[in-house]
Amino acid sequence: MFRTDLPIEWLVNVVHYVLHGAAEENGAGRIDTTDVAGIVTTTVRSILGLPTT
């Protein structure tokens, strides 16, 4: 179930920012390439109101 308390446009933009942020952090060497997918998945699921497990 997706959250309904925030506009979908906002949620899409926040996910977009997370993806760009992850790419920047990875490029700067602050997030290891092998960790990016898990970090992004956990973050996006929490933003959208989905269970993380």
What is the distance between the alpha carbons of residues 8 and 26, in angstroms, rounded to a whole number? 27
Residue 12 lies in a domain: yes
Task: Give the pTM.
Answer: 0.85
Do the domain assignments include residue 2?
Answer: no
Asked if the structure places residue 39 within a domain, the reply is yes
pLDDT tens for 12-46 read 999 999 999 999 999 999 999 999 999 999 999 99
The answer as to whether 29 is a domain residue is yes
pLDDT range class, residue 51, cuts 50, 70, 90 = low
Flag whether 21 is in a domain. yes
DSSP 31: S
Predicted pLDDT of residue 35? 98
| Domain span at 20 | 8-48
pLDDT at site 52: 58
Task: Indicate the number of domains in the chain.
Answer: 1
Show the tokens assigned to 50. Answer: 């989905």
